[in-house]
Amino acid sequence: MTQLIDRRLNGRNKSAVNRQRFIRRFKAQIKRAVADAVSGRSIVDIDSGEKVNIPARDMSEPVFQHGAGGRREAVHPGNTDFIAGDKLKRPPDAAGGQGGKAGNGEEGEDDFAFQLSREEFLELFFEDLALPDMVKTQLAKLVDFKSVRAGHTSDGVPTNINVIRSLRGALARRIALRGPHMKRLREVNAELTALQPEPVDEDEEQTPRALELQAEVRHLKRRIESIPFIDTFDLRYNNRIREPKPTTQAVMFCLMDVSGSMDEERKDIAKRFFILLYLFLTRNYERIDVVFIRHHTSAREVDEEEFFHSRETGGTVVSSALKLMQEIIRDRYPAGEWNLYAAQASDGDNWDNDSVTCRNLLISKIMPSLQYFAYVEITPDAHQSLWDEYERVAEVWSNFAMQHLQGPQDIYPVFRELFRKRVK
Amino acid sequence: MTGKLLSESSEWTFDLIERYDREIARIAAGYGLDTYPNQIEVISAEQMMDAYSSVGMPVNYHHWSFGKAFLGVEQRYRRGHMGLAYEIVINSNPCIAYLMEENSMTMQALVIAHAAYGHNSFFKGNYLFQTWTNADAIVDYLLFAKNYIAECEQRYGEQEVELLLDSCHALMNYGVDRYKRPSRLSAEQERRRQKEREEYLQSQVNDLWRTLPVRGGDTSTEDETRFPAEPQENLLYFIEKNAPLLKPWQREIVRIVRKVAQYFYPQRQTQVMNEGWATFWHYTILNTLYDEGLVDDGFMMEFLQSHTNVVAQPPYNSKFYSGINPYALGFAMMSDLRRICEQPTDEDRHWFPDIAGGDWIKTLDFAMRNFKDESFIAQYLSPKLIREFKLFSVLDDDAQEQLEISAIHDDRGYRYIRQSLADQYNLGSREPNIQVYNVNRRGDRSLTLRHTQYSRRPLGDSAEEVVRHIARLWGFTVRLEAVGEDGRVEVAQECEVEH
């Protein structure tokens, strides 16, 4: 008696829970490994899994077992030239190596290596970071609605009439209202039949009682017929209510100064910063649009390739980029439907009188609709006017953050600082 | 001729598996294999890894160690360090055998013969399995265990339960009465009786500890009768029943781990026999298929190649050597038994007078039912096999300067080697003998364990941690004493618990 079952369609991840528990249990060690990995490899390809090594002794499962020493005898196969009584030098590594259970001893020293998935790696990488106001946006700022079914109501618009429900109600009503008349009709008919077993002709003489009964039959039938087939009272309408739906889409604006003063190295730093921000957003939103805006004296929306790789020369007018961003928001990303994030990278150069324009633009026009604005200044030199003006923006808007980067090694700490979990 | 073939390509289909299974079942029955009904499940490689890491069980409670096992398996599999085993088979009724979808038809047939008829009949027939496991109830019991532990996690917190399981797992090998027959596992009864047991046990424990402890040490405890009166080898059982501070749910979890450990106990003692038996039968059954013209030469070539790999035994000086391969030894011994019955030599008649020339099916059946590795080897390892394997015995005594070859495969050595190899499979010598010796009931409630050394072998380094785990379960100081061969007792480990 054999039963053959195809289990391939069953869940594959039976061990997922155990895997999670393992990771939770050795979180400290794994995080250390993740930190090493982050510093060890380029952040650009951060978006993949990572092999993690943990010293095996940290996670041993101890059991009672024999240690080295004592007297032990072991049988081995494949004798070639020993005879009984031969004496041998003890092999150097073999204190326990001759025993049948030598395997355990070796494994103990090795590292336990395994692969973290991309999700797990990023989870740890992003741990205790959270986007500012994200919770607020997701839970409080409920701006989008979807319509869901919610039973039936007794009034509504004709298009929502539920035919089955309505007719069922009508049938029940008809049966209920007809009941007493039908009963009486049966009684009257019975009496009439008793009175006149044979059908009689019209002109034949009838007893007054029979005439009376016949009249009642007619009356009852009329009453029954007058019950309406369907009544407004019977109508039932499908009820739909609007349920608020949290927004799960975000748009991220990458603003970068591409004037002559931004060299390849600085652009590279900026790129890494944008990538980290992007990765972080992918953790929290289902759909993310990225808009690249590059500017020197005028701003232009470009694709990613051009954003990072083509060079231009000339002066710098930061406000041109901010204006363009504002227009794009107005045209394509209404703040009610999108979570808006902006990240700006610059070397801090700007035309002096433009910095004030930037400040005003940000404070009054742009910041109200943004979730977050992160500004990083990539320069080894002293700050210029833009930084000063932005500091004033940061005073007004708590979701405006700014940081100073000097080299690639600063990115990660700055990133953490920018998106540190805010204590409410 | 070709019309009789069951299949012509190496692709399998469900239909083909069923046809092969029918033929294999017919042949197995012809050889008198008595099996549980089979439930053959086709799974993917990933699912096989899942099954691996939960010790092969279809359901099990959650614990990080299974996650660790899974990651380990996955990593080695990805790197190509190991192929997955072709099969996992579960001692249950019906007997669940997993087939991996990646296998060819030949491999599926091999696995069906090996697992669904070989292992299956061993599970059903061997005395250890009959004594220690209840195939009808194990899956239900594991389901009960899983739900119970999940419930405890909800109620008392994952961490709490995890720590407890860690401690219990450390003692898993000490959860069996080696000399006493256990009561049967039954999930239904477990559920019904669990509540009563909780209350009853707690009252018993309280009774035991009714005496208030005397602070400041009490020297008179030496004279009193010890508790337990006899040393107890089943540490988990002792803790479950007597640990003073455990709450009822904690006792239940100790019990669950103990019951699961008990279920695996026969497997640890019958590796050579079990694998040997299954390998012998897949070899015999598939050869019969070939003899009947149901499979072709290609099938046999693929099968033999895989079979030969499984039963390869590299010599001691090979870099592939990692101890004696239980498949190789077991298969060789089972085949040798058949040979002794069918073509006995004078030597066999001298060594095995009662089976030489007998009925091989009956002889093998008897051996399968009534032995474990240790006794099986002691009883049936023939001089011919000792010669074929060129077995030799090495004595490693740390009191001696040098290793000594104590016996080789010659007339003087056969019995010595047979005994020595059998000892190697004796759980008593493989695992340290540690028993509960005493509980200081009137004093500090400390628990004393005794390790009776075997051939002067000390405990490994992990003993200290295990003692800490025991102390967590016991709740008071735990002491581990070592008893040398000369009877001298010294304290090896002590773990104090502050209150």
Q: Do A264 and A272 contact (CB within 8 A), yes or no?
A: no
Helix ranges, A289-423 (H): 304-309, 318-332, 352-360, 385-396, 411-418
CA gap B264, B270 in Å, rounded: 10
Same-domain pairing of A294 and A344? yes
Task: Give the tokens for residue B173.
Answer: 């090998």
| CATH number assigned to the domain comprising residue A282 | 3.40.50.410
- Contact criterion met (CB < 8 Å) for B40 and A72: no
Domain, as residue range, for A267: 246-418
Same-domain pairing of A168 and A284? no
Is A134 a domain residue?
no
Same-domain pairing of A226 and A361? no
Is A34 a domain residue?
yes
Is A394 a domain residue?
yes
**DSSP run (H or E) holding A179:** helix A163-195
Smallest Cβ–Cβ distance between B18 and the set A4, A79, A86 belongs to A4
Same-domain pairing of A182 and A319? no
Instruction: Look at residue B177 in the predicted model and tell me its pLDDT.
Output: 75
Same-domain pairing of A183 and A261? no
CA gap B133, B286 in Å, rounded: 30
Checking DSSP bridges between strand B478-483 and strand B447-452, what pairing results, if any?
A: parallel
Is A99 a domain residue?
no
| CA diameter of chain B | 89
Instruction: Look at residue B272 in the predicted model and tell me its pLDDT.
Output: 94
- Contact criterion met (CB < 8 Å) for A15 and B40: no
Is A321 a domain residue?
yes
Is A79 a domain residue?
no
Task: Give the tokens for residue A293.
Answer: 């805006």
Instruction: Look at residue B155 in the predicted model and tell me its pLDDT.
Output: 92
Q: Look at phi and psi of residue B12 and say left if phi exceeds 0, alpha if psi is from -120 to 50, else beta.
A: beta
- Contact criterion met (CB < 8 Å) for B424 and A75: yes
SS3 call for A326: helix
Is A315 a domain residue?
yes
Number of domain units in chain A:
3
Helices A352-360, A318-332: inter-axial angle, 10-degree rounding: 30
What does the buried/exposed string (b/e) look like for A81-101 if buried means 16 or more CB atoms within 10 Å of the residue's CB?
ebebeeeeeeeeeebbbbbbb
Q: What is the pLDDT of residues B136-185, one digit of tens each?
A: 888 889 999 999 999 999 999 988 999 999 999 999 989 887 766 555 55
Alpha carbon of residue B398 to chain centroid: 30
CA gap B341, A192 in Å, rounded: 103
Q: What is the pLDDT of residues B107-125, one digit of tens each?
A: 899 999 999 999 999 999 9
Same-domain pairing of A269 and A233? no
Residue from B55, B77, B421 nearest B257 by CA: B55
Determine the residue among B13, B57, B71 to mutate to test chain A binding: the one whose Cβ has the most chain A Cβ atoms within 10 Å.
Answer: B71
Residue of chain B whose Cα is closest to the Cα of A16: B67
Determine the residue among A26, A52, A73 to mutate to test chain B binding: the one whose Cβ has the most chain B Cβ atoms within 10 Å.
Answer: A73
Residues 8-67 of B with CB under 8 A from A: 14, 17-18, 21, 25, 37-44, 46-47, 49-51, 53-54, 62-67
Domain edge (last residue) among A239, A262, A293:
A239
In this prediction, residues B450-454 reach a mean pLDDT of: 88
Same-domain pairing of A405 and A256? yes
Instruction: Look at residue A250 in the predicted model and tell me its pLDDT.
Output: 79
- Contact criterion met (CB < 8 Å) for B40 and A8: no
Smallest Cβ–Cβ distance between B396 and the set A62, A63, A98 belongs to A98
- Contact criterion met (CB < 8 Å) for B462 and A63: yes
Smallest Cβ–Cβ distance between B70 and the set A5, A19, A103 belongs to A19
DSSP for A222-268, written as a single string:
HHHHTS-SS-GGG--EEEEEEEEE---EEEEEEEEE-STT--HHHHH
In tens digits, chain A (424 residues) has pLDDT values of 688 888 887 766 677 788 888 888 888 788 777 766 665 544 445 555 667 777 766 677 888 888 888 888 889 999 988 988 888 888 765 444 443 333 333 333 457 777 777 777 766 766 644 444 443 344 334 456 677 888 888 888 888 888 999 999 899 988 988 888 888 888 888 888 887 776 666 666 677 777 888 888 888 888 888 888 888 888 888 888 877 666 667 788 888 887 777 777 777 777 777 777 777 676 666 677 888 888 888 888 888 777 777 666 667 888 888 899 989 988 888 877 788 888 888 888 888 788 888 888 888 888 888 888 888 888 877 787 888 888 888 888 877 888 888 776 676 666 666 665 544 3
**DSSP run (H or E) holding A420:** none
Residue of chain B whose Cα is closest to the Cα of A60: B462
CB pairs under 8 A between A and B: 278
Domain edge (last residue) among A239, A265, A286:
A239
Q: Is A83 on the interface with B (CB under 8 A)?
A: yes
Residue B353 has phi, psi (to 5 degrees) of: -60, -30
Chain A contact set for B65 (CB, 8 A): 18, 22, 61
Same-domain pairing of A337 and A233? no
Looking up tokens 């909780």, which residue turns up?
B198
Q: Do B258 and B170 contact (CB within 8 A), yes or no?
A: no
Question: Which residues does A99 contact at the CB level (< 8 Å), separation at least 6?
Answer: A66, A72, A74, B396
CA gap B100, A32 in Å, rounded: 37
Is A72 a domain residue?
no
Q: Is A9 on the interface with B (CB under 8 A)?
A: no
Res. B442: pLDDT tops 90: no
Residue from B442, B443, B447, B492 nearest B241 by CA: B447
Instruction: Look at residue B182 in the predicted model and tell me its pLDDT.
Output: 55
Res. B199: pLDDT tops 60: yes
Q: What is the pLDDT of residues B258-295, one digit of tens each?
A: 988 888 888 888 999 999 999 999 999 999 999 999 99
Res. B84: pLDDT tops 60: no
Smallest Cβ–Cβ distance between B412 and the set A84, A86, A87 belongs to A84
Q: Do A346 and A372 contact (CB within 8 A), yes or no?
A: no
- Contact criterion met (CB < 8 Å) for A78 and B394: no
Q: Do B63 and A26 contact (CB within 8 A), yes or no?
A: no
CA gap B238, B226 in Å, rounded: 14
